[in-house]
């Protein structure tokens, strides 16, 4: 699925000046067959979360045009967005959007049961990979931010997708866990021929990307 | 798991208050509809005269006895009665203008005869099927409605003759004959009882028979109309009573008392019904309000599920089903309480000498179903509006 931005500017950012390299008000295309790994790097308040939210239809307050496979997303109905959120674009929100009263495994299963993408055994392998298997039945409310981030990443992987948006997913992870999670995401994307867009406050030098975007 | 997510933040006290209010409202609603129907049915079947129907006559005074004032009705007077807003219909009661003798004509019943007085009223005032109440020239059997007092008299006679008394149903099978005559000729015709009345002291016959017999055996040219059959509209008996009083008219006391009682009790139940509907609406609104609060309290959970790719319809149905199941339980519990209350109230009616039908009225059960459907529909609409609002936020 290719994503095309044509002079897009979110309403709240319209009064702020943006650099010439900024994607706001410019034209660009992201094609998951060419640009599998995209880094969106910007300082605070430049619209990283807004960018993520525009792509999953959470926000509609913008001018310009966003096209998915040449179709303007402003014409999408609720059913279209349900399909996109369920099958085409997965997202790890910056605030993680976990259910605090559910356990780690329940938070993942509630997403997985929509599409039955993985079996419980496969999910447990993911949990083992991110060193959270022993915490699977622990309520998310009692977990650290780093643990919650890893749960949110695994949950986002539990669906079919063509793009996965990761809004500052490693902000509370150490280098080792960041690497584990990055590899997990990258491997899954290669496996299903999908792309990922990772947003970050700082330049990410440890990982390889195919395309770099700025705000 | 969805239930665990969506119904996590609940204020149980508020839910309890809303449920309690709904149960009270529903019990009121079922009771008022049930008793409104049963009270209106009171007396039906026993009386051949239609509901709210009575025979009126002018009050007999000293002057009318001395023939100074008139005690008969003119056709214009009857037409004026019909124009009153509370009058459903009014018709003259036609009397026989010839001699009539009623005789038993059955081997099982001893010979008995009595002079009787015949009257006829329009079929629309009678609770008797049209098929039974037909007579045309050439027919050998004439249907009759007998005053209950006459049956009591007949039973007294049977008892004195050492024959077992007969019930109303058995009396309908006894063969009778009417001897109609004038000074020059006489005829016999078989009569069959089709019903009984407490309200009319004479035998009722079909209008066609009366016209035929009056033409053939009339001893006078035209008889005066001294009785008028009048029926009031439902729930307007008070107006009718006032009207009779003002015009110097009277009716049998029992008719007035029953009509008045039914009118008062019906009005009370209508007031109770209005209060019940308001109570059910208010308690329903409290439950809907509770659902809105539940949705607001779980806004984050709903929004997150929608962002994960859950269909709004699935979440809407979850809330609708949850609230509907609560209202369903309220309905079942209310029906249970109504049955208990019914036992007590029916006992009170029985003690007061009012034998109403004790079976559950179908309409009161339907009212529960209709309330449930309305509530489920409103829940669905409210949930849909609230949840779709969260989709793009």
- The domains of chain A, with CATH numbers, are 34-63+78-214 (3.40.50.300)
| Minimum distance, in Å, between the CA of residue A85 and any CA atom of chain B | 5
Chain A residues touching B305 at Cβ < 8 A: 110
Contact A85, A57 (CB under 8 A): yes
Q: How high does pLDDT run on average in chain A?
A: 89
| Section A50-63 average pLDDT | 91
Strands of the B118-120 sheet, one edge to the other: B94-95, B118-120, B203-204, B141-147, B186-197, B176-181, B99-104, B113-115
Chain B residues touching A101 at Cβ < 8 A: 4-5, 8
Chain B residues touching A50 at Cβ < 8 A: none
Q: For A56, which residue in chain B has the nearest alpha carbon? A: B307
| Minimum distance, in Å, between the CA of residue A20 and any CA atom of chain B | 30
Element (H, E) at B335: helix B312-351
Contact state of A85 with B393 under an 8 Å Cβ cutoff? no
B363's tokens: 């309409």
Contact B43, B57 (CB under 8 A): no
Choose the mutation target among B4, B7, B304, B393 for the interface with A, i.e. most A CBs under 10 Å.
B304
Give pLDDT < 50 ranges for chain B: none
Q: What's the ipTM?
A: 0.91
| Section A37-65 average pLDDT | 88
Angle at A157 between CA A154 and CA A162, to 5 degrees: 160
pTM of the model: 0.65
Return the pLDDT at B291: 86
If contacts are CB pairs under 8 Å, which of residues 114-173 in chain A contact chain B?
114-115, 155, 159
Integer Cα distance of B57 and A132 in angstroms: 98
| Chain position carrying tokens 């003119």 | B74
Contact state of B311 with A82 under an 8 Å Cβ cutoff? yes
Return the pLDDT at B66: 56
Return the pLDDT at A162: 93
Closest CA to A168 of A153, A180, A188: A153
Return the pLDDT at A172: 87
> What is the number of CB-based contacts under 8 A between chain A and chain B?
53
**Residue A127, C-beta contacts closer than 8 angstroms, at least 6 positions apart:** A104, A105, A108, A133, A135, A136, A154
Return the pLDDT at B18: 82
Return the pLDDT at B390: 85
Closest CA to B273 of B5, B34, B92: B34
Return the pLDDT at A150: 94
Closest CA to B176 of B114, B251, B255, B260: B114
Closest CA to B127 of B231, B216, B258: B231
Return the pLDDT at A105: 94
| Section A80-92 average pLDDT | 93
Angle at A163 between CA A161 and CA A169, to 5 degrees: 105
Sign of torsion, CA B23 B28 B31 B36? negative
Does any CB of chain B come closer than 8 Å to the CB of residue A91? Answer: yes
Q: What is the largest CA-CA distance in chain B?
A: 104
Return the pLDDT at A25: 87
Return the pLDDT at B239: 78
pLDDT digit string (tens) for A118-131? 999 999 999 999 99
Closest CA to A199 of A108, A62, A91: A91
Closest CA to A214 of A197, A189, A193, A194: A197
Coil, helix or strand for B135?
coil
Return the pLDDT at B220: 67
């Amino acid at each position: 699925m290719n994503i095309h931005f044509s002079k897009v500017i979110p309403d709240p950012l319209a009064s702020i000046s943006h650099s010439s390299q900024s994607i706001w008000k410019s034209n660009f295309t992201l094609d998951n067959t060419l640009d599998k790994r995209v880094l969106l790097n910007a300082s605070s308040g430049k619209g990283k979360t807004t960018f993520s939210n525009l792509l999953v239809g959470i926000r509609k307050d913008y001018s310009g045009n966003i096209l998915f496979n040449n179709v303007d997303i402003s014409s999408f109905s609720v059913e279209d967005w349900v399909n996109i959120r369920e099958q085409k674009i997965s997202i790890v929100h910056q605030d993680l959007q976990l259910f605090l009263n559910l356990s780690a495994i329940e938070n993942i299963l509630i997403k997985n049961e929509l599409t039955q993408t993985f079996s419980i055994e496969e999910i447990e392998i993911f949990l083992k990979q991110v060193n959270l298997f022993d915490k699977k039945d622990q309520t998310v409310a009692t977990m650290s931010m780093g643990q919650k981030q890893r749960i949110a990443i695994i949950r986002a992987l539990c669906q079919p997708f063509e793009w996965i948006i990761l809004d500052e997913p490693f902000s509370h992870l150490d280098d080792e866990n960041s690497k584990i999670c990055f590899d997990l995401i990258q491997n899954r994307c290669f496996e299903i021929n999908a792309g990922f867009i990772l947003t970050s406050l700082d330049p990410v030098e440890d990982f390889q990307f195919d395309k770099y975007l700025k705000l | 798991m969805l239930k665990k997510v969506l119904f996590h933040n609940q204020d149980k006290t508020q839910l309890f208050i809303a449920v309690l209010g709904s149960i009270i409202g529903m019990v009121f609603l079922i009771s008022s509809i049930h008793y409104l129907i049963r009270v209106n049915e009171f007396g039906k079947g026993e009386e051949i005269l239609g509901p709210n129907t009575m025979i009126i006559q002018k009050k007999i005074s000293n002057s009318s006895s001395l023939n100074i004032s008139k005690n008969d009705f003119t056709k214009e007077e009857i037409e004026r009665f019909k124009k009153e807003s509370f009058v459903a219909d009014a018709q003259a009661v036609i009397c026989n203008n010839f001699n009539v003798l009623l005789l038993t004509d059955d081997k099982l019943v001893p010979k008995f005869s009595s002079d009787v007085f015949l009257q006829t009223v329009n079929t629309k005032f009678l609770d008797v099927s049209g098929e039974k109440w037909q007579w045309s020239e050439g027919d050998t059997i004439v249907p009759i409605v007998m005053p209950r007092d006459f049956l009591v008299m007949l039973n007294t006679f049977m008892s004195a003759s050492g024959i077992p008394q007969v019930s109303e149903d058995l009396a309908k099978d006894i063969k009778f004959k009417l001897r109609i005559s004038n000074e020059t000729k006489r005829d016999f015709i078989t009569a069959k009882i089709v019903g009984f009345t407490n309200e009319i002291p004479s035998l009722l016959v079909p209008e066609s028979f009366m016209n035929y017999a009056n033409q053939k055996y009339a001893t006078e040219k035209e008889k005066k109309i001294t009785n008028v059959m009048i029926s009031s509209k439902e729930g307007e008996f008070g107006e009718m009573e006032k009207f009779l009083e003002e015009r110097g008219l009277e009716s049998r006391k029992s008719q007035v008392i029953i009509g008045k009682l039914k009118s008062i009790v019906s009005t009370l139940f209508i007031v109770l019904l209005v209060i019940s509907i308001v109570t059910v609406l208010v308690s329903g609104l409290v439950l809907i309000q509770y659902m809105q609060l539940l949705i607001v309290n779980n806004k984050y959970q709903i929004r997150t599920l929608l962002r994960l790719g859950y269909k709004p319809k699935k979440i809407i149905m979850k809330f609708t089903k949850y609230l509907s199941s609560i209202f369903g339980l309220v309905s079942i519990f209310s029906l249970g309480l109504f049955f208990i209350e019914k036992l007590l109230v029916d006992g009170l009616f029985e003690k007061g000498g009012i034998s109403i039908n004790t079976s559950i009225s179908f309409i009161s059960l339907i009212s529960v179903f209709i309330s449930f459907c309305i509530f489920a529909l409103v829940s669905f609409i409210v949930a849909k509006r609230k949840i779709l609002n969260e989709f793009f936020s």
